[in-house]
Structure 1
Amino acid sequence: MVFEGLADKLQDTFKRLRGRGKLSETDVSEALREVRMALLEADVNFKVVKDFVSRVKERAIGQEVMDSLTPGQQVVKIVYDELAALMGGTQSRLNISSRPPTVIMLVGLQGAGKTTTAGKLANLLQRQNKRPLLVAADVYRPAAIKQLQVLGQQLDIPVFTLGDQESPVTIAQKSIDQANALLRDVVIIDTAGRLHINEELMQELRLIKGQAKPHEILLVVDAMTGQDAVGVAEAFNGQLGLDGVILTKLDGDARGGAALSIKAVTGCPIKFAGMGEKLDALEPFYPDRMASRILGMGDVLGLIEKAQASLDLDKARELEKKLRKDSFTFDDFLEQLQQVRKLGSMEQILSMIPGMGSQLKQLKNAELDEKDLKRTEAIIRSMTKKERQDPALINGSRRKRIASGSGTKVQDVNRLLKQFEETRKMMKRFQLMQKSGRKPKGFNLPFFK
């Protein structure tokens, strides 16, 4: 989970505060000392930490908190507000030109993931009904042009290239004419990077900026590099004047320092976050939602948006009809499994549910193992079409064949068949209760009212 170490420490600290009826200034100071250590360990800039803790303390020892019936919760609310403000407060959107094409220039060091991010950004904009054109302006890195062309083919998005003999400045300039000719309303320029910042790189980028006149210059930085990312952002911003930052690999074991420091140090907002390897794993960055996740409050809005973007509503309605007719099969089970996996890893999904953040550690070693989902899918795919439609056909010899075909054990097949049968019985019971207007024991959900 993103910010895992920081989130665990902050949640443990505030759990102790929430249980107290009254807070003293000493209580607040001790809690903020732990907050300070947690932020520093997460590689947050020292000055940023100092200012952050100072602001929180000033608000936390005021009368509104000390006299409150729930002072611990008030302190958490203050930390949430300040965390969100630290990362920019509200979502920072792309500057879309009223006169197409909108030109977006991606810059950054080599290895930050610019080319892949160019594809992800194009994919995101295409899903928002934009018509992007990818531009291969990295003429130095071997296979950079080919990599962008492959991404373009996968996404069905055109890629403009003049090969590796033309200058990047010329390529960027001519890409605008190509966008107009193809009626493309967004141009995404994938520029070259270097292993380190140097004057040659900056001069080239300044020339591209002068010719292409981008509406957005976005720096792509690897969140795993921690404070180095902040230094890179400062350097690029000073030379080019950045409009925003895209943090990649924010789904890894990044300590979080870059995300919590960049806006405060450079003034540049984080506009997008890379949350995985797939081409749909680029998300708009919401400071308030990220602060909520760090403090274990979840991100329900983010989860809803993921579901709306990933899940097929028509298939959901079709499934409901099958449940009513008691005709739920292993094919339906497999389809639902694939739909859920589109939302991301189970760990990511649960981290977005309020109250689940602190329990992820216990769950991680149990039913959250991604291998279990893959094993289940392999077992179902090893069944014949008739077996998926009618699991009652699966006798002993068939179970051995399915286990052999899926690289699993017979016990795994038995376990899945039992779980499937229990799921069907439960769904059938719920349907009957819904028809009769009765509510099953232990449930108090609106669905059953």
Structure 2
Amino acid sequence: MFENLTERLSRTLKNVSGRGRLTDDNIKDTLREVRMALLEADVALPVVREFVKRVKERAVGTEVSKSLTPGQEFIKIVQSELEAVMGDGNEALDLSCQPPAVILMAGLQGAGKTTSVGKLGKLLKERDKKKVLVVSADVYRPAAIKQLETLAADVGVDFFPSSVEQKPLAIVKAALEHGKTKFYDVVIVDTAGRLHVDEEMMDEIKDVHKALNPVETLFVVDAMTGQDAANTAKAFNDALPLTGVILTKVDGDARGGAALSVRHITGKPIKFLGIGEKTDALEPFHPDRVASRILGMGDVLSLIEDLERNVDKKEAEKLAKKFKDKKGFDLEDFRSQLQQMKNMGGMMGMLDKLPGMSQLPGDMKDKVDDKIFMQMEAIINSMTKGERARPELIKGSRKKRIAAGSGTQVQDVNRLLKQFTQMQKMMKKMQKGGMKNMMRQMKGMMPGGGMFPGR
């Protein structure tokens, strides 16, 4: 996410970081570069103009804090203005009403509305402990209703049946009535994709909105469309009283134009980011964290939240007890660590949130390939319980059997065993309390040091 913009801005802001004083002249070139970086990221021109103007006004002749250099102060101003462009903070869903709270989803076809309904349903059920009902009023797209039914079953929320023979208005009225009689906390309504210029379809969604009187009307839009996402959202907002935006496919958007344009152009907050295909790949939108990531400073708060949400506490306690009892770290433990890493969006998902990762050379990033971790897990899955507990048993014929069972080569099995041995040594160092030794071991396991083999 935002790779191109992060790289360009990091390079540009480096030039100003050593300045003794911020003047009109010495920030002129930097501001020009910032302007170009934003335009290349497909940020809307009015947003770029306003942003550069505000940064310049605040930077020239600014009183510099004693703890910062003028260059650092400039970067602080850029970060603060990035946050201001995207919103003051995370704007949560407003569900404070007589239940059920109705959430209406609108947007173009193919933006990811149905998937977002499933993800949002899961998030509200698991994080907010809400009783959720989902319903599809999309009677135009073949298999749309079935898709939502399958998703609802996957994420464990209730599905209200509908069919293509029904009218959308009749579907939503029946779903709302069902939501009231069965005491649901939230009803999420999926609608058909439509263009804002299609009068008939826009009239239909206005009627649906009037019948439901939703507490939240969310516009779902594909981040890959850049500043067009903001323009489309504005057109919809002129017809419907939107309360917020869900930006989808953000993981595939290297530019970031949509995230930086939506709030300024529509006046509506981005409430969530869709960051992948998995049902839990929906993140609340925090402008300050996104600004930090854009400037290559990482997003440690989100990483901590990921850890708290995805790390299996029982597994962690079990491993801690093994350490305490001076028992060895085996391949079963190794596999458990790989699975937990996968739950957190894989290695790249974690690295993206660490400060300074944007400075890593491209070839080094390429080595951190999550496919390698999937391959490792497949190899360990092909071993017997005894082999996982005692890796020293794995010799010639066993290696061939494990390679065949996991669809890999014997050299892949050898590589995994070598990496496991390194990990085991590191764990022993931790048991002995030798932190310096452990850090030295970890350096050897970083990209380029042997842990991540090149392709």
Do they superpose with TM above 0.5? yes
CA-CA distance at 1:427 after TM superposition: 1.1
Letter in 1 for 2:322: K
Q: Which residue of 1 aligns with 2:135?
A: 135
Q: What is the rounded CA distance, in whole Å, between the counterparts of 1:331 and 1:199 in structure 2?
A: 59
- Equivalents in 2 of 1:236, 1:69: separation in Å? 44
The answer to whether the 8 Å contact 2:65/2:73 transfers is no
| Distance of aligned partners of 1:24 and 1:97 in 2 relative to their CA distance in 1, 3 Å threshold | closer
> In the alignment, does 2:146 pair up with 1:146?
yes
Residue 62 (structure 2) aligns with: 63
Q: Is 1:80 paired with 2:86?
A: no
- Structure 2 partner of 1:12: 11
State the partner residue of 1:264. 264
Task: Tell me which residue corresponds to 2:243.
Answer: 243
Alpha carbons 1:91, 1:271 under 8 Å: kept: yes
- Using the alignment, how far apart are the partners of 1:322 and 1:369 within structure 2? 30
Q: Which of structure 1's runs of 4+ aligned residues deviate more than 6 A? A: none
Deviation at 1:63, TM superposition (A): 3.3
Amino acid at match of 1:328: F
Conservation of the 8 A alpha-carbon contact between 1:22 and 1:66: no
Cα separation, 1, equivalents of 2:28 and 2:424 = 54
Q: Which amino acid aligns with 1:338?
A: Q
Partner of 2:366: 365
Q: Choose 58-67 or 164-173, whichever is displaced more.
A: 58-67
Q: Which amino acid aligns with 1:38?
A: A
The alignment partner of 1:17 has SS state of: coil
Matched, 1:167 2:167: yes
User: Within 5 A, what are the aligned runs for 1:95-106?
Assistant: 95-106=94-105
Instruction: Give SS of 2:350's match.
Output: helix
Q: Alignment partner of 1:99: what SS?
A: coil
Shift of 1:360: 6.0
Partner of 1:353: 354
Deviations 1:417-441 (A, max 9, x none): 12212211221122123xxxx6535
Q: Does the 8 A contact of 2:4 with 2:254 survive in 1?
A: no
Match of 1:26 in 2: 25
Quick one: which amino acid aligns to residue 390 of structure 1? R
Residue in 2 that maps onto 1:232: 232
Aligned position for 2:436: 440
Instruction: State the Cα distance separating 1:196 from its structure 2 match.
Output: 6.1
> Aligned equivalents of 1:203 and 1:196: distance in 2?
10
**Aligned equivalent of 2:88:** 89
Query: Could you give the per-residue CA deviations for residues 257-310 of structure 1, whole angstroms, max 9, x where no partner exists?
Result: 111011001101000010000110011000110000000111111111111111
State the alpha-carbon separation in 2 of the partners of residues 439 and 234 from structure 1.
54
Q: RMSD value over aligned CA atoms?
A: 1.8
| Conserved? CA contact 1:65–1:75, under 8 Å | no
Do 1:101 and 1:179's aligned partners in 2 also have CA atoms closer than 8 Å?
A: yes
Report the counterpart of residue 447 of structure 1 in structure 2: none
Partner of 2:448: none
Task: Kindly report which structure 2 residues correspond to 1:290-329, keeping only aligned pairs within 5 A, or say none.
Answer: 290-324=290-324, 325-329=326-330
1:143-222 matched pairs, under 5 angstroms: 143-194=143-194, 197-222=197-222
Q: How many Å separate the matches in 1 of 2:310 and 2:207?
A: 40
Q: How does 1:34-45 map to 2 (within 5 A)?
A: 34-45=33-44
Shift of residue 85, structure 1, vs aligned partner = 0.6
DSSP 3-state at the match of 2:133: strand
**What are the Cα deviations for residues 206-255 of structure 1, in whole angstroms up to 9, with x where unaligned?**
10111111011000000111122112101110001110000000011342
Greater Cα shift, 48-57 or 372-381: 372-381
| Matched pairs, number | 438
Deviation at 1:40, TM superposition (A): 0.3
Deviation by residue 1:294-335 (Cα, 9 ceiling, x = unmatched): 001111111111111111112101111123332322111111
Equivalent residues of 1:21, 1:69 under 8 A apart: no
Structure 1 range deviating more: 395-404 or 168-177: 395-404
Query: Hey, what's the Cα distance between the residues in 1 that align with 2:112 and 2:327?
Result: 48
Identity, % of aligned pairs? 54
148-157 or 212-221, which deviates more: 148-157
Q: Distance in 1 between matches of 2:358 and 2:201?
A: 42
Equivalent AA in structure 1 for residue 436 of structure 2:
P
Question: Which residue in 1 is equivalent to 2:289?
Answer: 289
SS in 2 for 1:104: strand
Residue 134 of structure 1: how far off its partner (Å): 0.1
Q: 1:443 to 1:333 in 2, by over 3 A?
A: closer
1-structure distance, mates of 2:241, 2:170:
21
Distance 1:343 1:12, change over 3 A: same
- Match of residue 445 from structure 2: none
What residue number does 2:340 align with? 339
Structure-2 separation of matches of 1:155 and 1:68: 49
